Structure 1
Amino acid sequence: MNLPLSDALKKHSRQTHDNVDTLVLSMEPFASIENYSKFLQAQNAFHEVLKPIYENTSLNLRIKGLNSLSRLEQVAMDMQDLKIQSMLVDETIPSPNEFESIGWLYCSEGSNLGAAILYKEAQKIEFTSTHGAKHLSAHKDGRMVHWRQFKAKLDSLELTLEQRQQALKGADDAFSFFKRVIQQVTYTEKP
């Protein structure tokens, strides 16, 4: 029997997800405002790729309320609070197809759970849901409730085996892209 899609995505991407978590922690995003600024730049680059996915007409027909979930605007407001600019990504910006996009959405919406810990850390350097850490704030329904609802929407999608494989590839691609962006922003010196 096939695993529900959300469970298949979790199982498939567990190691990559853990590697990304380790990389993010290694950059010590809350050790200083400079480090947090770099983290925000990486978040911005990631959410710029996600914006057209959240706005995709076909996906919005399949996943109710999808177009209201993008956090790019909140990331942009956080960057404005800190007066930092977007980074230039040193690679081709991904353009996932519809089914790969499902894997990207899984990564993005799942990151809201981990954001609970990040939000607490951001508060230690005086960033909150009203200044500097808007994009880390909980969904209005609560993090866990929202995540369960989103997973149920993913699990209700009727996908062929090939489309499920594309969703798994999309999750790989999303984690890999975020990892590369974190590496770029962490190891690139300012001119």
Structure 2
Amino acid sequence: MQIELERPAESTRIQRLKALTTGTHDTLDKRIMRAEPFASRERYALFLDVQHNFHADVAPLYASAELNRILPGLADRCRLEALRQDVADLGGVPEELVSTTGPLSPAAALGWVYVAEGSNLGAAFLRKEAAKLGLSDDFGARHLAGHPDGRGLHWRNFVSAYNELPLSAEEEIEAAEGAKAAFRRVHGLVEAVFE
């Protein structure tokens, strides 16, 4: 009698990317929570400043014809305009910001987009915290709103498209380095804005 050993399922591209960036991501999450961005509307306005700067960095990636070719509908996922409205809702003047990413390879750009899209998935928790400050999908927390089709489905569609990308092992590493750079950029913004 021959026994076949069950082989573990091969990890997906997005799972590998997550594994390669978990440390950098966790460090950022802890730093954001130490900043207490939902302790008051004033602190939340600082958080909006961080978000506004980061999404200004990634907005050109969402508009990229090349990235939209390989990730159809990417342009529709951009949250910069919602952030600008949120800043205005809280009495701020949303500046015209320019991306600081510099030129990125397509693979590195995919890493930055992964971070931005992942933040949308995590925004469900943040949205509840913003509601405690009297903010909503229509005032001050538009950028945290879920997609009309549902936050989970929106993320799964992104993951499915991302997993199908024809990337080499080297390009996957490059995407992970891009994602780490994006996490570090947000960390730097938190340090600058909250301190």
Mapped contact 2:40–2:133 kept (Cα < 8 A): yes
| Residue aligning to 1:186 | 194
Tell me if 1:18 matches 2:30. Answer: no
SS in structure 2 at match of 1:141: coil
Secondary structure in 2 aligned to 1:93?
A: coil
- Does the aligned pair in 2 maintain the 1:71–1:135 contact within 8 Å? yes
CA–CA distance in structure 1, aligned partners of residues 17 and 147 of structure 2: 22
State the percentage of identical aligned residues.
Answer: 36
Task: Quote the offset at 1:88 in angstroms.
Answer: 10
| Matched residue type, 1:172 | K
Counterpart CA distance in 2 for 1:39 and 1:26 is 12
1:67-101 superposed Cα distances (whole Å, 9 cap, x missing partner): 10000000000001012245799xx9222321101
The aligned residue for residue 39 of structure 2 is: 31
**Paired letter, 1:131:** F
Alignment partners' CA distance in 2, 1:27 and 1:34: 12
User: Is the 1:99–1:163 Cα contact (8 Å) retained in structure 2?
Assistant: yes
**Distance apart, 1:144 and its partner CA:** 1.1
**Equivalent residue, structure 2, for 1:46:** 54
1:93 aligns to 2:83 (yes or no): no
Q: Structure 2: state its 5+ residue gaps.
A: 1-8
Partner of 2:3: none
Q: 1:167 aligns to what SS in structure 2?
A: helix
Give TM-score scaled by structure 1 length: 0.92
The alignment status of 1:58 with 2:58, answered yes or no, reads: no
After superposition, where does 1:1-191 map in structure 2 within 5 Å? 3-86=11-94, 93-95=100-102, 96-187=104-195
**TM-score under structure 2 length normalisation:** 0.90
Superposition deviation, residue 145 in structure 1: 1.0
Note if contact 2:85-2:140 (Cα within 8 Å) is conserved in structure 1: yes
What is the aligned residue count?
185
Unaligned regions of 5+ residues in structure 1, if any?
Answer: none
Partner amino acid, structure 2, of 1:185? V
- State the AA in 2 paired with 1:70: C
Deviates more, 1:78-87 or 1:96-105: 78-87
Q: Which amino acid aligns with 2:18?
A: K
Give the Cα separation in 1 of the matches to 2:193 and 2:169: 36
Return the index of the structure with the highest Cα Rg: 2
User: Does the aligned pair in 2 maintain the 1:41–1:85 contact within 8 Å?
Assistant: no
Provide the aligned C-alpha RMSD in A.
1.8
Question: What letter corresponds to residue 158 of structure 1 in structure 2?
Answer: P
